[in-house]
Chains A and B, each alone.
Chain A
């Protein structure tokens, strides 16, 4: 079984490029060039240098001793939360900004939900001196004020998405419309492993530095490259894609994907796409997505702004369908509890997205000598208000 993208842009039956003709030249230009550019020695050198000196990579692989003791197994945390800007998102934006420059683009657009990808994009645009426009749902702008301020401080223009449900999916629509209107000078930095081919593959490759590091870091810790499990939370699925990438074809490494159940799978307020979604087309790719019987895309819910996307990347849809990955869903309450637990046991305040991945230990039993690597995709600073309100701190 192949879990990577094929030459037509599909992961099994998922993926492809379902785009209006207006976008074809942009996407085709990228498709024809992305692998070539990524293979250039000068590209690799610049990418790796920036990841090291600017992002602060490699991010530590940390053995969480007290957490491990509590659950009687061996838990390692891949500390993406220690990256510059506080999450894994910057791995992708560094890669894509270098790609954009090599394609001769001068204007950058991006979508953002909670603002993390918007901040990571604004950051690299400032770094490279490129114009940056970030689309953000009007409702998200209101509830994520600090990130809006960050983007502005970094020189980006934040444009409210006023259409539809005025959240992440609509911000994505607006960014795509911008790209249709500006086909020549603009590069669209998609923030997750979604969108038309080659985006899911390109984003996955930029994020794959995560699993590449896990291999040699685990070797240092344990004398072996392969853990028994890799675990990551999934919204669109970019941190998960990066965490799994080098283990996709290592069948003795089990893959666990953790979705947001919100208030519960059957509550009507959930973002567990693998359970509630059905095959369809969203933002240019065929994948699993939450929709009405009539094919209208619905609005998901999670307490975590980074996980409430109605679709999931096509690679993950394929992993779900083939059974390569085990999908679990974690409610708001369990995620919040697991987040607070990590604070108390390890002195780390995790992003609520990452807390979902940490919450599986109450539901899944591991052997005492199992080695489990959990992607700690982001830090919790941005979620402080949610933590304060939830725990009445």
Chain B
């Protein structure tokens, strides 16, 4: 069983943290991952920076631009984390846009992920149907779980399709927005959380976009298996550096 699937079976609400690899400094990747695990985070999304991150708001854009300036690349990231499984045991997911993977070679990319011990991928601009028709078997060959997004606008029919080809969790985008643009959840969002929870999907849901503190984490995990924090964490390391990461996670979980 894949580490993600194991983790999802634990009887607790999961906290997943996204960070941009190569930010704030090029070589922070390994220690950020290790410190996040030590601080009690359940799952990590390692952001592979892209020059044109369409689905991301200003915070992650800026961190991506800086990471690329620092010298981050697919090759460098793989080198930095090649021994990560010697020290880290929680699920690790790479989140990135499709073009850098396409240039690396989708199969070569997946193979490398398996060698390193990456458990899954999130690729916002690889559409479900293209994945299904062209890449699904490659991902499966290398034991990788591909995670798909749904939004408040996703139709029931499409949610069911996404559920049927997923084998980990569904990434529930909290609202129609790019990353980092929400503050707190209103009735519209909790209504949507409820609606999805009541669909009794095969895959558990983890909510992302707009989770920034204990309040939004608690709100989201009332309806879902877990929640993902990205922009708020990037902001935290921008302001405080990477030495006090445990402070950040402590405040989320309280």
Contacts and interface: CB of A to CB of B under 8 A. Distances in A.
Contacts of A17: 127
A181 B181 contact: yes
A285 B101 CA distance: 15
A207 B104 CA distance: 36
A294 B103 contact: yes
A22 B55 contact: yes
Interface in B93-123: 97-104
A164 B54 contact: no
B184 interface: no
A291 interface: yes
Interface residues of A, number: 36
B52 A18 contact: no
A323 interface: no
Nearest to B155: A25
A19 B101 CA distance: 15
Nearest to B175: A181
Nearest to A22: B151
A240 B48 CA distance: 36
B178 to A, nearest CB: 5
A293 B76 CA distance: 13
Interface string B147-190: 01111011100100000000000000100111001000000000
B126 A173 contact: no
A179 B181 CA distance: 14
Contacts of B99: 280-282, 291, 295, 297
Nearest to B56: A177
Given A169-B52, A173-B52, A20 B73 contact: no
B172 to A, nearest CB: 10
B96 to A, nearest CB: 9
A264 interface: no
B143 interface: no
Given A18-B130, A21-B154, A293 B58 contact: no
Given A180-B176, A181-B178, A293-B103, A19 B127 contact: yes
B28 interface: no
B52 A20 contact: no
Contacts of B155: 25
A164 B51 contact: yes
Nearest to B75: A294
A295 B103 contact: yes
Nearest to B65: A164
A21 B150 contact: yes
B16 interface: no
Nearest to A27: B127
Interface string B111-147: 0000000000000111110100000000000000000
Interface in A274-325: 278-284, 291, 293-298
Contacts of B57: 177
B103 A181 contact: no
Contacts of A180: 54-55, 176-178
A291 B103 CA distance: 10
A6 interface: no
A163 B66 CA distance: 11
Nearest to A25: B153
Nearest to A18: B125
26 contacts: A16-B130, A18-B125, A19-B127, A20-B55, A21-B124, A21-B127, A21-B128, A21-B148, A21-B154, A21-B173, A22-B149, A24-B158, A177-B55, A177-B178, A180-B176, A184-B153, A281-B97, A284-B54, A291-B99, A291-B103, A295-B100, A296-B50, A296-B51, A297-B51, A297-B52, A298-B51
Given A177-B55, A291-B103, A295-B50, 11 more contacts: A16-B130, A21-B154, A22-B178, A163-B58, A173-B54, A181-B176, A181-B178, A181-B181, A183-B176, A295-B102, A297-B99
Interface of B: 50-58, 61-62, 65, 68, 73-75, 97-104, 124-128, 130, 148-151, 153-155, 158, 173, 176-178, 181
Closest 5 CB pairs of A and B: A295-B103, A295-B100, A21-B149, A296-B51, A20-B55
